[in-house]
Amino acid sequence: MNTTKILTIVLFLVAAGLGYYLVDRIKFKIDEEERIARMEARVIDKLIMIREAQLAYQGSFGAYTSSWDTLLAFIDTGKIYVTQRREETVLLDYGAEETTIYIDTLGSIAVTDTIFTKEKFPNFNLATLPIIPGSDKRFEMFADKIMKGGVEVDVIEVRNVVPVDPRRSEDNEANIKKPLRFGSKTSITTAGNWE
């Protein structure tokens, strides 16, 4: 074999090896992005379930809870009351109107039967609700009252303390680049940063 053939074979093998390496790296990157997207979708599903439970809890008790035990007990045994509102308006002698509002309690429905139905949340599991998917840690839950515009208001924030995506960090200025969460410690919102 002459030098040209040997050089051609060596260059072909180097090119094939380099091509395989580049394709493998690109495929790894795509697979990693898909894995992160799947895991974050599971985390978002849990955050939505927790938000629904917190909103029901606040509707029943007038405030959010920062205790997992309290929230889980509410989901397990709590009830949401069904009410009916009606108004009666009476015309007074001097032309004014007097309106009386009546709120009647018609009954109650278990929280699990109203919020956590199989149709709405097919993967609901009360025992694992506080656990971050792919981890053994719990979501961090903060609930308190703050003063906003001279009025005391309820705030809640639930966040993932173990981000799946290594690019998500508390140091990021953009809220959508921070670890997945809903609510805020400083403003009145229950919106998620994935929305």
pLDDT at position 176 over 80: no
Q: Rounded CA gap, 59 and 139, in Å?
A: 22
Whether residue 24 lies inside any domain: the answer is no
Average pLDDT over residues 129-137: 89
Percent of the chain with pLDDT over 70: 98
pLDDT at position 140 over 80: yes
Identify the pLDDT of residue 148. Answer: 83
pLDDT at position 120 over 80: yes
Identify the pLDDT of residue 107. Answer: 80
Average pLDDT over residues 1-13: 83
Query: Residue 161 has which token pair?
Result: 């303390």
pLDDT category of residue 185 using cuts at 50, 70 and 90: confident
pLDDT at position 95 over 80: no
Tell me the pLDDT of the chain averaged across its residues. 85
Whether residue 57 lies inside any domain: the answer is yes
Host domain of residue 87: 42-183
Q: Rounded CA gap, 12 and 177, in Å?
A: 43
Query: Residue 77 has which token pair?
Result: 């045994």
The terminus-to-terminus CA distance of the chain in angstroms comes to 65
| Closest of 84, 80, 83 to residue 57, by C-alpha | 80
Structure-model confidence comparison of residues 112 and 70, the more confident one = 70
Whether residue 101 lies inside any domain: the answer is yes
pLDDT (tens digit, 9 = 90+) per residue, 150-167? 888 899 999 988 888 777
pLDDT (tens digit, 9 = 90+) per residue, 14-47? 888 888 888 878 887 887 888 888 888 888 999 9
3-state SS of the chain is CCHHHHHHHHHHHHHHHHHHHHHHHHHHHHHHHHHHHHHHHHHHHHHHHHHHHHHHHHHHHCCCCCCHHHHHHHHHHCEEEEEEEEEEEEECCCCCEEEEEEEEEEEEEEHHHHCCCCCCCCCCCHHHCCECCCCCCECEEEEEEEEECCEEEEEEEEECCCCCCCCCCCCCCCHHHCCCEEECCCCCCCCECCC
pLDDT at position 96 over 80: yes
Whether residue 21 lies inside any domain: the answer is no
Average pLDDT over residues 90-111: 83
pLDDT at position 1 over 80: no
The total number of structural domains in the chain stands at 1
Whether residue 29 lies inside any domain: the answer is no
Whether residue 124 lies inside any domain: the answer is yes
Whether residue 112 lies inside any domain: the answer is yes
pLDDT category of residue 9 using cuts at 50, 70 and 90: confident
Note whether 192 and 44 are within 8 A (CB): yes
Whether residue 61 lies inside any domain: the answer is yes
Sheet arrangement for strand 181-183: 140-148, 151-159, 181-183
Identify the pLDDT of residue 46. Answer: 92
